[in-house]
Structure formats: C-alpha cells, structure tokens
Amino acid sequence: AAGWLAWKRAPLPPRSALAPLAMVAVGCIIGFPWLTSIAMRSLPAAHGAVLVGILPLATAVFGALLAGEKPSAGFWIMASVGSALVIGFALGQSGGSLQPADLAIFLAVLLAAMGYAAGGRLSQTLGGQQTICWALLLSAPALLPLVGWLCWRDGPRLAAAGPAAWTGFAYVSVFSMFIGFFFWYRGMALGGVARVGQVQLVQPFLSLLGAALVLGEALAWPTVVFAIAVIAVVGAGRKMQVKRGENRRLS
C-alpha cells in the first residue's frame, strides 16, 4: 500500500477523511478478518458462508447510516426477513442457542458492513485505491507490534506450515485485503453502497463451492436451502428503491 501511494505520489488524505479511514481499518482490515478467522476454527466453512450471507443487507443499513442513502420500507422488510433467516439457521445448527463462533461471525459482519459503507462513501472523493491504501497504513501501527509478537511466539509453527497454508495466506493478503478493494470501493463510489453491496449475493454460493472443492466439506441440504433462501431475500431487497445521498467533497 505504501509503495502504491508513493508510486502514484498520492497526497495526504484530508483531516475529514481520517474518521472514515479508521472505520475501514477497524471494520475491514482488523475486525472482519480476525473474528471470522477465530470463528472458522470451530465452524464449517459452509456454515460461516450462510451467516455471512446477511452482509449485503448489513452493508445497506450502514449505507443509510453513514452514506446518507435512504432505502425504502420494502427494503427494510427484506432486511428483517433475511436477518431472521440467518439467525434461525444459526440457532438450528447450534442446538437452539447461539455459539460464541456464531456471535463472532455476526460481529464480524457488522464491522465489515461499517467498513464497506464508510469506504464506499469516502471513495467518491478520495478514490477506491487511495481509500484502501491509506486505511492499511493507518492500521499498521496497531498491527505491526502484534504481528511481531505472534511471529516470536509461534515461530516454530509458522516455520512448519505447509505450502497450502502459505498459499492461502498470500491469497488473502494480496487479493482479499488489497487488490480486491480497488475494484470494490470503485464500484460503490459509482453505484452506491446499498445497491452495489448486493453483488455479495454470489459470495455464499462461491463459499459453499470453495468449501466443497478446497476443504472437502460435504454440502448438507439444509445449508444449501438456507443459503438459497437468504440470497433470494437479499435479491428481493435489491429491487427495492434506494435513494442515494448527495455527494459532498472532502476538504
């Protein structure tokens, strides 16, 4: 990120951009990856994929709160139905009570939605590439000491990690946490947070497919049915009217 900013000779972000950049850093760079990684140690990837299926609606909620967008009543109805489906799935899979891993996923979704909305709004004036790069740099002072301590504590285990682990780590580092945001925030700047956020509809399907192909997880019918139901509800919400707020330039 620092190299890209230096190559582009990007100016320092204005003071008014610091709060949205902090939201991106806390939500997308620290909160969501950390909490989902913890949850996925005890949850099947397919289970987590269904829970994360509510992220498009959560992003729309934060789009209304942070980006000045105004979804219609029908949109909020679909949001409530989708939330109920996801919570019902989590309760059914967890024996009638939410497990700590489920709560970690839900908190991760809220943090990611906050970061998406703040970053999407900021990208309208700062640009998607600068938004994620400055957010990554802003998070570095908090993350570098922690990474250093983890390397010292877990050095032997890191050295023994196989190619599959390092390949996965490299993928989430380069694409999920960096290059992917170039396009994601650019799209939100052009089409609006709530509307473009619905593109995440395909994420549960792709995650279920990845869980089967990469991890060898069996696709249980209840999981597939709930994933389809959540996506159908979010898709219905996507058709509801969403009024975009006025674009105010940062200064």
- Collapsing DSSP to helix, strand or coil, 242 comes out as strand
Query: Which pLDDT does position 250 carry in this prediction?
Result: 38
Q: How far is CA 198 from CA 38, 184, 201, 234, 249, in A?
A: 26, 12, 6, 7, 25
Q: What is the pLDDT of residues 70-124, one digit of tens each?
A: 767 777 787 778 777 777 776 776 666 667 888 898 899 999 999 999 998 899 8
Q: pLDDT at residue 176 above 50?
A: yes
pLDDT value for 98: 67
Torsion of CA 60, 168, 33, 221, to 10 degrees: 60
Q: In this structure, are residues 14 and 112 in contact, taking their beta carbons and an 8 Å threshold?
A: no
Q: Which two tokens mark 28?
A: 């997308």
Q: What mean pLDDT, rounded, does the chain reach?
A: 83
What pLDDT is attached to residue 218?
Answer: 76
242 pLDDT exceeds 70? no
Q: How many helices (H) and strands (E) does the chain have?
A: 14, 2
pTM of the model: 0.78
pLDDT, tens digit (0-9, with 9 covering 90-100), for 123-164: 989 999 999 999 999 999 999 999 999 999 999 999 999 998
